[in-house]
Structure 1
Amino acid sequence: MRSRDRAWPSPLVLSFIAFVLLPIAIVAVYLFTIAADQYVSEFRFSLNSIDPPRLDPLSLLAGNVSHSPAGSESQIVVQYMTSRAVIDQLDAALDLHRMFSPPEADWWSRLPRPTSIEGLVQYWRGQVDPFYDPANGTVVVRVRAFTPAEALQLAQAIVAASEQLVNDLSTRARHDALRNGESEVTHAETRLKAVLGEIRAFRDREGLIDPAKTAEVSGTIAARLKDELVRANAELSTLKSYMQDDAPSVKVLKARIRSLEGQQRVVARDLTDRDPNRDDTLSRQLGSYEQLESERRFAEAAYQHALHGLDQARANADRQQVYIASFVPPSLPEEALYPRRWRSLAVVALIAFAVWAIGGLAVQSIRDHF
């Protein structure tokens, strides 16, 4: 009986076998005989803008400087890479269910079938690992797949989707930046066209191209008539000094003076008639035209100002355009990096040994108390 009792291993040895050696053996069998190889394609890029940011001296002293000119956009791209939006886009082109559930993949590492979109999103986040490094403003992405070609294909598809996202964001930001400027230009252009239409209608209604020039000509005529009238009156005074009033020369000169005075009254009436019932006087026409011309000049100035503002907004939007600068493009992997067999086995061994040791100490402590 004693020899048989001595042949059985002690409980400590049995527990070590059950909680340490057996899990290690099971995991080793899985890792080295069952687990499918997974290949990693890595790429790196940064988001740059045409106009680099101006560094604030206070930020330099505080050490709070972001080397990336598009840090917020980089974080948006990183979040997009793990979102359902990119999965829906790539699944339609690559069939992610087929790519992540190949026949050669083991049951533990492949995507279960059937699976919901939520399950695909969760699995995707384990296969695609994007990381934004604010220290140098770069984005590092590691993509895993069960074949080298599929890892490269998936990485290239993610790059293309990210570029499309950045272009869409830049286009949307540019459109938003130019929207106000374009609206102001449209408003100013509409106002200018309306004023020009009023001027055209005024010219058609009054039969005058430029009342200012017409008034200038009328003023010249009035001045000439006044000069002629002054000369005629002077000549009449001279004739009366040695001729009778009924002399033919005096009569002719008086008739000419009356004609000049009549012409002068007509010109003066056309220029400044105070009759409120008349709308065709040149003074009123000139006042209306000058008001329209003032509105035209103001509308043209507002239109030019709006065009200048739109040009500045367009130039600023062009300088702030963001683009992806890929300095490490996706490449075809040659060796499988996953699963990390020896590292995983070592982690399992440490955990199993720690659990066994803690459990043994706990059991021994209980025995000592009882």
Structure 2
Amino acid sequence: MNSHPKIDPSSADVASLGGSGPVGGLKRWLSGAGLLFWLCVVVPTTLAIVYFGVLASDVYISESRFVVRSPKKPSVSGVGMLLETAGFSNGSDEMRAAQGYISSRDALRALDGDGLARRAWGNDSIFILNRFDPFGLDGSFEELFLYYDDKVAVDFDSETGIATMMVRAFTPQDAQVMNRRLLERAEALVNQLNDRSRGDLVRYAEREVMEAQGRARTAALALASFRNRAGVIDPERQASVQLQMISKLQDELIGARMQLLQLSAAASENPQLPLLKVRITGLQRAIEEQMGAVAGSSGSLSATAAQYQRLQVEREFADRQLSAALATLQDARNEARRQRAYVERVALPSRPDDSMEPLRIRGILSTLIAGLVAWGVLSMLLAGVREHKD
């Protein structure tokens, strides 16, 4: 009876799976892993290796740093205190304006005025998934702005007052040129805002002076017209002169009466008595006329004094307003000459000598880890579903 050698089924399975050893073990593990592992881990990781390792275009980052200095605003930080020792501080308002401008469509229009942005981000040497408008379907300005927003960033440190601008492009030259152009446009914006602020300050003060001059001119004309109409220069001074005349006439009247009284008592037939009586009558009439000119009638000095004083007060007030407006104008001009916010470049736009993006190893490892996590979660879910069915 022939004896046949026994065949170990496990050895047959091993042979059918490709033998033993590390390679055979890997094949068995991949075979047992199933389609889910291939879909979640192998395929995405392979695509990531191909993309990050071969296809993805190198991205170069040009960086520049700048501050906006202003001689009139207080500083708040250590760097600001250092700048304050030189008489300057951080112009945060202008800095925010520059930051907002760089992130705006106007900055993109200035950058792409000669087609620089489209050439730098949309040329055929860039991988199709990285370039702007890869299929030539929608090269609109709005699409370019969305792409621009992803390639240009400005970060502002409120403590140091320093803004950092980073521009991404696919060649070092393009990144540096675009960074420099945006920095120049931001500086031009700060200068424009500064010039407008100075102009508005002086124009407002000049308008106040013109209005004050108009009021002073109107008040002076009104006072002159009243003087011509009333026939007086200064009622108070004229009344003072009139009162002095009345006082003299009253003194003369008293003297004439005393003389008349003395002559009447000494010589009642004296021929000078009628002359003294006539003189006394004349003095009384003159005093009454002078008193009527000072007060008591519609054309008297006392009647015109009230209106004259009102016009005089209006003129003095208008003159004071004019003086104040002229002083304000001079202060505004001095302030305009002193007020000067400007961009100070802390670090010029750099020209990178190596690409910083994409992070190839990190991208591949991230894809692998994400795939493993997805495979593990889905595997547990499917196992739970099978156990529930069983």
Equivalent in 265, 289, 298 of residue 288 of structure 2: 265
Q: Secondary structure at the match of 1:129?
A: strand
Residue 51 of structure 1 corresponds to 73
Say whether the 8 Å CA contact 2:73–2:91 is kept in structure 1. no
In structure 2, list runs of 5 or more residues that go unmatched.
1-11, 19-23, 78-88
Equivalent in 131, 140, 149 of residue 125 of structure 1: 149
Provide closer, same or farther for how the CA distance between residues 127 and 195 of structure 1 changes in structure 2, counting only shifts above 3 A.
same
Residue 35 of structure 1 corresponds to 56
Residue 17 of structure 2 corresponds to 6
What is the identity, as a one-letter code, of the residue corresponding to 2:266? Y
Residue 356 of structure 2 corresponds to 337
CA drift of 1:218 comes to: 1.8
Q: Secondary structure at the match of 2:251?
A: helix
Provide closer, same or farther for how the CA distance between residues 320 and 14 of structure 1 changes in structure 2, counting only shifts above 3 A.
farther
What is the identity, as a one-letter code, of the residue corresponding to 2:289? V
Residue 6 of structure 2 corresponds to none
1:199 aligns with 2:223: yes
1:287 aligns with 2:306: yes
Percent sequence identity over matched residues? 28
Provide closer, same or farther for how the CA distance between residues 241 and 54 of structure 1 changes in structure 2, counting only shifts above 3 A.
farther
Q: Secondary structure at the match of 1:144?
A: strand
Residues 320-329 or 290-299, more deviating: 320-329
What is the rounded CA distance, in whole Å, between the counterparts of 1:302 and 1:94 in structure 2? Answer: 56
Aligned pairs for 1:251-262 (under 5 A) are 251-262=274-285
For residues 257-307 of structure 1, give each alpha carbon's deviation from its aligned partner in whole angstroms, at most 9, with x where no partner exists: 333333323222222233x5xxx3222222221122233334445566677
What is the identity, as a one-letter code, of the residue corresponding to 1:138? I
Say whether the 8 Å CA contact 2:209–2:322 is kept in structure 1. yes
1:239 aligns with 2:260: no
What is the identity, as a one-letter code, of the residue corresponding to 1:296? R
Say whether the 8 Å CA contact 1:40–1:142 is kept in structure 2. yes
Aligned pairs for 1:289-368 (under 5 A) are 289-301=308-320, 324-358=343-377
What is the rounded CA distance, in whole Å, between the counterparts of 1:291 and 1:133 in structure 2? Answer: 60
TM-score (norm 2): 0.70
Provide closer, same or farther for how the CA distance between residues 245 and 175 of structure 1 changes in structure 2, counting only shifts above 3 A.
farther
Say whether the 8 Å CA contact 1:39–1:333 is kept in structure 2. yes
CA drift of 1:123 comes to: 0.9
Q: Secondary structure at the match of 1:221?
A: helix
Residues 207-216 or 312-321, more deviating: 312-321
CA drift of 1:39 comes to: 1.9
For residues 58-89 of structure 1, give each alpha carbon's deviation from its aligned partner in whole angstroms, at most 9, with x where no partner exists: xxxxxxxxxx9666765565444333343234
Provide closer, same or farther for how the CA distance between residues 6 and 136 of structure 1 changes in structure 2, counting only shifts above 3 A.
same
Q: Secondary structure at the match of 1:92?
A: coil
What is the rounded CA distance, in whole Å, between the counterparts of 1:365 and 1:178 in structure 2? Answer: 79
What is the identity, as a one-letter code, of the residue corresponding to 1:153? V
Provide closer, same or farther for how the CA distance between residues 224 and 331 of structure 1 changes in structure 2, counting only shifts above 3 A.
farther
Say whether the 8 Å CA contact 1:212–1:286 is kept in structure 2. yes
Residues 9-18 or 121-130, more deviating: 9-18
Residue 217 of structure 1 corresponds to 241
Residue 83 of structure 2 corresponds to none
| Bigger Rg, structure 1 or 2 | 2
CA drift of 1:363 comes to: 5.9
Say whether the 8 Å CA contact 1:272–1:283 is kept in structure 2. yes
Q: Secondary structure at the match of 2:354?
A: coil
What is the rounded CA distance, in whole Å, between the counterparts of 1:119 and 1:176 in structure 2? Answer: 37
Q: CA RMSD in A?
A: 4.3
Say whether the 8 Å CA contact 2:40–2:371 is kept in structure 1. yes
Residues 310-319 or 339-348, more deviating: 310-319
Residue 108 of structure 1 corresponds to 129
Say whether the 8 Å CA contact 1:128–1:143 is kept in structure 2. yes
Say whether the 8 Å CA contact 2:246–2:290 is kept in structure 1. yes
Equivalent in 170, 173, 177 of residue 149 of structure 1: 173
Provide closer, same or farther for how the CA distance between residues 53 and 300 of structure 1 changes in structure 2, counting only shifts above 3 A.
farther
What is the identity, as a one-letter code, of the residue corresponding to 2:357? Y
What is the rounded CA distance, in whole Å, between the counterparts of 1:75 and 1:270 in structure 2? Answer: 73
Say whether the 8 Å CA contact 2:111–2:117 is kept in structure 1. yes
